C-alpha cells in the first residue's frame, strides 16, 4: 500500500517532466488539481496516508510556480497527526504555502506548542523549524517564552537547543518587543560558556542580533566572546567535525568578531590584550593557498578580523601589518582575492594612520586599473579616489586621465566625475586644475556632465590671474580639427569674457578669435548657439572703437537668427542687435561677470548622493574632513559685484552655479544659459519669489518702474544673492529712456553688470 501510494506521486512527477511544452504541463497540472480537489471534498473516505500524498502533490505543483488556492486546511490538519511521516508533511507544506497572516495558522498554534513543550525531540525540531520559518506575531507572542525555556534547558539535547536559538533569533528579528530580554543578558552570557559548538554558533547568531539592536545590555557577553575567539584561535577543544580545511569553525569565528564590532570599545586592558593577541595570530597565520575552499574560509575570518582591527582603532604597528597583508593580496593572480584586497584597503582609509601606509602600494593599485575584470577596475578606482590627497593628487589624476582613453564606456562617466572632483579638491595650483578639466572634456566630452564645465567657469571668473591662461588654453583646444560640443560651450564662454586679455598676443585679435569660434557654429546644437551669440556680443563690446568689418559680420549673424524658430536664440539675436547699436554704452551693459558667491560644489553633492553608505563613502567623508589645498582662492581684488571681501573658492565648496532667474524653485544653473522658459522675469532682489508677470507679457514688454534713475543710456543691475538659505536671486531693473521702455534681457544676465557710479 505504501509503495503504491508514493508511486502515485512519482508517476505524477515523471508525467510533468515528460511534458513537451508549457501548455501540456499546465493541462496535466490542472487535471491533477481537479482530482485532488475532488478527493478533498469527500474527505471522509481519505486515510491520513492518502491525505499526505495529495498534500505532497500540492507542494510540488506550488514549487513549479502554479497557484494552489485550496487544500490549506488539509495541510494544517496534518500537523496534529500522531505519526511522524504525516506530521512532517504537515509542517513542511504549511511553512511553504502559508504566510504569517494566514487565518488557518491559528488553528495550529496549540498543536505546535504541545510539540515544542513535549518530550519528542523530532517533533520539537519540526515545530521549531516551522515557527522559525513563518515567524508571525501571534506565534511570537504565544511561543517565545517556551522557545526561550528550551534554549536554556539543561536536559535538552544540543540538536533541539540549536534549533531553539535560531527560532528565537527569527522571532526576535520580526518582533523585537515580544521576546522578553529583561534579565536575558546574564542567560546569554551563560550560553556563551557552552561547550557544544553547534549550540554556541546558534547562540552567537542570536547575540549578534541582540547587540546590533542594543549593546548596552550585553557588556557581560564581551569577555565571553573574546574567550570563545581565543579557544578557536588556539584550536583548544574543537571537535574534528567543526574544523573546515584545518580551520576551527570559521563561521563561529566570523560571527564572534561581528558581535564584538557592535561594542564601541573594550575597556578592560586584559581582555583587550587577549583579543589583540588573537587578531595578531589570525593576521600572521593567513596566507593564500591553492585550495579555493580553504582560501574562502580563511579569508572570511581574515577580513572580519581586519574589520575588527579597524573598529578598535588598533595600534599603528598592527595597522601597517594589515595593510601589508592586503598589499600581498592585491598582487596575487586569483581575481577574487585581488578584489577583496582592494575593497578592504578602501575600508582601511577610514582609519586615521592607514592612509600613509596605503600610499606605498599606489603603483600596484594603479596596475589594478588595467585589470581585465571590470569589478576590480571599479574597486581600484574607488581606492585611488579615496587615498588621493595634496601629496599624490597630481600623479593619481594624471593616471586617471591616461586611463580614460582606454576605459570602458560604462566607467567613463564615473571616472571623469572622480577625476574632476580630485582635481578640484587637491589642485596644487589653479592652472593645473583648468588643464585637467579641459583634458577631461577633450578626451571624454560625451561623459562630462554640465556641472563640470560650469565649475571651471566659476573658478576662472573668481580668479583674475587665471583668466588670460584659461582663455589661451581654450583657444588652443578650439583650433583642433575635432572639438566636442562641451568644449565649444566652455571656450565660447571664456573667450567671450576674457579674450580681450590676449589681444596683444599673435593670432588673438578680436577678428581671429571670432573666426575660430564662428567656424564651430554649424557643428553645434541649438543649446550652444545662444552661448556663441553672447560671446560675439562680448567680442564686439571689447573692440571699441568697432572694427567695421567685424561689426558687419556679427550684425549679419544677429540678423539671420532674428527669425530663428528657437525662442531663446531669437530673443538673444534681437536684443543683442538692438544693444550693439548703442556704441560705447555697450561697455557698461556688457561689463565683466561678477564673482560667484561661495557654495558647496554640486559635483561633491552628486558624489555623496549617488553612493550608498559604502566603504567608499566613508572614505569620502574622511577625505572631506582633511585639510583642503589652499590653492583655489580668489585674488585679493575687491569683487565687482559690490561685496566687501573676496569670495574664497575652496576645494569642495561651491555648490550649484547660482541660477540666474528666480522663481519659487531653482531654475537653470547654467552660467551661460540662465533663462526661464525664454521669457523675461522682473525680480525683486528683496523678495526672491517675485511675480512672474513677465511670462504673460512676453519678451521686451516689461514696463520699468516710473522715475527710475538713469545712470547711462541703459542701466542693468544684475544682483546675485548669497547666503546659505537664500534662493538664488538676480534683479533686472529696467529703466525708462525718454518714455521708451527698454529692458535688458535676462538672457544677458551672465553678461551684464552694474556700471560703477
Q: How confident is the model at residue 198 (pLDDT cuts 50, 70, 90)?
A: very high
State pLDDT tens for residues 274-286: 998 899 888 887 6
Q: Give pLDDT, residue 352.
A: 64
Q: Give pLDDT, residue 610.
A: 60
Read off the DSSP letter of residue 684. B
Q: How confident is the model at residue 649 (pLDDT cuts 50, 70, 90)?
A: very low
Mean pLDDT is highest, among 161-165, 372-376, 624-628, 686-690, for 161-165
With DSSP H G I counted as helix, E B as strand and the rest as coil, what are the percentages for the chain, rounded to 5? 65, 0, 35
Q: Give pLDDT, residue 585.
A: 73
- Asked whether residue 44 carries a pLDDT value surpassing 50, the answer given is yes
Taking all residues of the chain, what is their mean pLDDT, rounded to a whole number?
76
C-beta neighbour count of 126 within 10 angstroms: 23
Contact 178, 141 (CB under 8 A): yes
Q: Give pLDDT, residue 163.
A: 93
Average pLDDT estimate for 747-752: 40
Q: Which of 402, 478, 473 is nearest to 440 (CA)?
A: 402
Average pLDDT estimate for 109-136: 88
- Asked whether residue 15 carries a pLDDT value surpassing 60, the answer given is yes
Q: Give pLDDT, residue 206.
A: 93
Q: Give pLDDT, residue 543.
A: 79
Q: How confident is the model at residue 624 (pLDDT cuts 50, 70, 90)?
A: low
Average pLDDT estimate for 696-715: 33
Q: How confident is the model at residue 184 (pLDDT cuts 50, 70, 90)?
A: confident
Report which secondary-structure segment, H or E, holds 580: helix 567-580
State pLDDT tens for residues 57-113: 888 889 888 888 887 888 888 888 888 888 898 888 888 888 777 777 787 888 888
Q: Which residues in 464-495 are b (16+ Cβ under 10 Å) and which e?
A: bebbbbbbbbbbebbeeeebbebbbbbbbbbb
Average pLDDT estimate for 722-733: 34
- Asked whether residue 187 carries a pLDDT value surpassing 70, the answer given is yes
Distance CA 278, CA 625 (A): 33
Q: Which residue carries 518530550 as its cell?
A: 119
Q: Give pLDDT, residue 633.
A: 41
Mean pLDDT is highest, among 321-330, 544-553, 657-666, for 321-330
Contact 69, 58 (CB under 8 A): no
The beta-strand segments (E) located in 157-250 are 243-244, 247-248
Residue 78 C-alpha cell reads as 496534518
Q: Which residues in 667-699 are b (16+ Cβ under 10 Å) and which e?
A: bbbbbbbbbbebbbbbbebeebebebebeeeeb
Q: How confident is the model at residue 123 (pLDDT cuts 50, 70, 90)?
A: very high
Give the residue with greater pLDDT, 317 vs 394: 394
Average pLDDT estimate for 353-358: 80
Q: Give pLDDT, residue 81.
A: 85
Instruction: Provide the H-helix boundaries in 405-528.
Output: 409-426, 430-444, 450-462, 467-478, 485-498, 510-518
Q: How confident is the model at residue 685 (pLDDT cuts 50, 70, 90)?
A: very low
- Asked whether residue 158 carries a pLDDT value surpassing 60, the answer given is yes
Q: Give pLDDT, residue 48.
A: 77
- Asked whether residue 460 carries a pLDDT value surpassing 80, the answer given is yes
Q: Give pLDDT, residue 749.
A: 37
Distance CA 365, CA 357 (A): 13
Considering the chain, what percentage of its residues have pLDDT values greater than 90?
16
Q: Give pLDDT, residue 43.
A: 67
Amino acid at each position: 500500500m505504501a509503495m503504491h501510494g508514493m508511486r502515485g506521486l512519482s508517476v505524477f512527477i515523471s508525467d510533468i517532466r515528460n511534458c513537451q511544452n508549457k501548455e501540456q504541463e499546465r493541462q496535466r497540472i490542472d487535471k491533477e488539481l481537479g482530482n485532488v480537489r475532488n478527493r478533498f471534498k469527500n474527505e471522509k473516505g481519505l486515510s491520513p496516508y492518502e491525505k499526505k500524498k495529495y498534500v505532497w502533490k500540492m507542494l510540488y505543483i506550488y514549487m513549479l510556480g502554479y497557484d494552489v488556492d485550496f487544500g490549506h486546511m488539509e495541510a494544517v490538519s496534518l500537523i496534529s497527526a500522531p505519526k511522524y511521516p504525516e506530521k512532517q508533511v504537515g509542517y513542511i507544506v504549511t511553512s511553504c504555502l502559508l504566510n504569517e497572516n494566514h487565518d488557518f495558522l491559528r488553528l495550529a498554534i496549540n498543536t505546535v506548542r504541545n510539540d515544542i513543550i513535549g518530550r519528542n525531540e523530532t517533533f520539537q525540531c519540526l515545530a521549531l523549524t516551522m515557527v522559525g520559518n513563518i515567524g508571525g506575531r501571534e506565534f511570537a507572542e504565544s511561543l517565545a517564552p517556551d522557545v526561550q525555556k528550551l534554549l536554556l534547558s539543561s536536559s535538552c539535547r544540543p540538536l533541539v537547543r540549536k534549533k531553539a536559538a535560531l527560532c528565537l533569533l527569527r522571532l526576535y528579528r520580526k518582533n523585537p518587543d515580544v521576546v522578553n530580554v529583561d534579565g536575558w543578558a546574564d542567560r546569554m552570557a551563560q550560553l556563551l560558556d557552552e561547550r557544544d559548538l553547534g549550540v554556541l554558533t546558534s547562540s552567537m547568531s542570536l547575540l549578534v542580533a541582540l547587540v546590533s539592536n542594543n549593546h548596552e545590555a550585553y557588556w557581560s557577553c564581551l569577555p565571553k566572546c573574546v574567550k570563545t575567539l581565543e579557544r578557536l584561535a588556539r584550536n583548544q577543544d574543537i571537535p574534528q567535525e567543526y574544523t573546515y580545511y584545518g580551520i576551527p569553525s570559521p563561521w563561529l569565528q566570523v560571527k564572534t568578531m561581528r558581535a564584538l564590532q557592535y561594542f564601541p570599545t573594550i575597556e578592560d586592558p586584559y581582555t583587550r590584550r587577549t583579543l589583540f593577541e588573537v587578531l595578531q595570530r589570525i593576521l600572521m597565520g593567513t596566507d593564500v593557498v591553492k585550495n579555493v575552499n580553504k582560501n574562502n574560509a580563511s579569508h572570511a575570518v581574515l577580513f572580519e578580523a581586519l574589520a575588527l582591527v579597524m573598529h578598535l582603532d588598533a595600534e599603528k604597528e598592527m595597522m601597517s601589518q594589515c595593510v601589508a597583508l592586503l598589499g600581498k593580496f592585491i598582487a596575487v593572480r586569483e581575481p577574487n582575492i585581488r578584489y577583496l584586497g582592494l575593497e578592504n584597503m578602501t575600508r582601511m582609509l577610514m582609519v586615521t594612520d592607514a592612509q600613509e601606509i596605503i600610499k606605498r602600494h599606489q603603483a600596484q593599485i594603479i596596475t589594478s586599473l588595467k585589470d581585465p575584470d571590470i569589478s576590480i577596475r571599479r574597486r581600484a578606482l574607488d581606492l585611488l579616489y579615496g587615498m588621493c590627497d595634496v601629496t599624490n593628487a597630481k600623479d593619481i589624476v594624471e593616471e586617471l586621465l591616461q586611463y580614460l582613453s582606454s576605459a570602458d564606456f560604462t566607467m567613463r562617466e564615473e571616472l571623469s566625475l572622480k577625476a574632476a572632483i580630485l582635481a578640484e579638491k587637491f589642485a596644487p595650483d589653479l592652472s593645473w586644475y583648468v588643464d585637467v578639466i579641459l583634458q577631461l572634456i577633450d578626451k571624454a566630452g560625451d561623459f562630462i556632465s554640465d556641472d563640470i564645465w560650469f565649475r571651471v567657469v566659476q573658478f576662472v571668473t573668481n580668479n583674475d590671474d587665471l583668466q588670460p591662461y584659461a582663455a589661451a588654453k581654450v583657444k588652443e583646444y578650439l583650433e583642433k580639427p575635432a572639438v566636442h560640443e562641451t568644449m565649444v560651450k566652455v571656450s565660447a564662454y571664456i573667450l567671450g569674457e576674457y579674450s580681450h586679455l590676449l589681444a596683444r598676443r599673435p593670432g588673438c585679435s578680436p577678428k581671429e578669435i571670432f573666426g575660430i569660434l564662428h567656424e564651430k557654429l554649424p557643428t553645434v546644437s541649438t543649446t550652444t548657439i545662444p552661448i556663441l551669440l553672447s560671446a560675439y556680443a562680448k567680442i564686439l563690446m571689447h573692440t571699441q572703437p568697432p572694427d567695421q568689418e567685424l561689426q558687419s559680420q556679427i550684425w549679419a549673424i544677429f540678423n539671420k537668427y532674428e527669425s530663428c524658430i528657437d525662442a531663446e536664440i531669437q530673443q538673444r539675436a534681437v536684443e543683442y542687435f538692438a544693444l550693439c547699436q548703442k556704441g560705447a554704452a555697450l561697455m557698461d551693459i556688457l561689463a565683466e561677470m561678477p564673482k560667484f558667491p561661495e557654495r558647496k560644489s554640486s559635483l561633491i553633492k552628486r558624489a555623496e548622493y549617488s553612493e550608498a553608505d559604502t566603504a567608499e563613502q566613508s572614505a569620502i567623508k574622511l577625505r572631506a574632513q582633511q585639510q583642503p589645498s589652499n590653492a583655489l582662492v580668489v585674488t585679493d581684488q575687491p569683487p565687482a559685484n559690490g561685496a566687501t571681501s573676496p569670495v574664497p573658492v575652496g576645494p569642495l565648496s561651491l555648490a550649484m552655479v547660482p541660477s540666474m532667474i528666480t522663481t519659487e524653485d531653482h531654475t537653470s544653473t547654467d552660467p551661460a544659459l540662465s533663462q526661464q522658459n525664454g521669457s523675461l522675469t522682473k525680480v525683486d532682489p528683496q523678495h526672491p519669489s517675485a511675480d512672474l508677470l513677465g511670462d504673460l507679457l512676453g519678451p521686451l514688454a516689461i514696463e520699468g518702474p516710473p522715475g527710475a534713475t538713469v545712470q547711462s543710456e541703459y542701466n542693468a543691475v544684475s544682483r546675485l544673492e548669497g547666503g546659505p538659505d537664500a534662493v538664488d536671486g538676480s534683479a533686472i531693473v529696467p529703466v525708462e529712456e525718454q518714455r521708451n521702455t527698454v529692458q535688458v534681457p535676462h538672457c544677458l544676465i551672465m553678461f551684464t553688470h552694474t556700471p560703477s557710479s
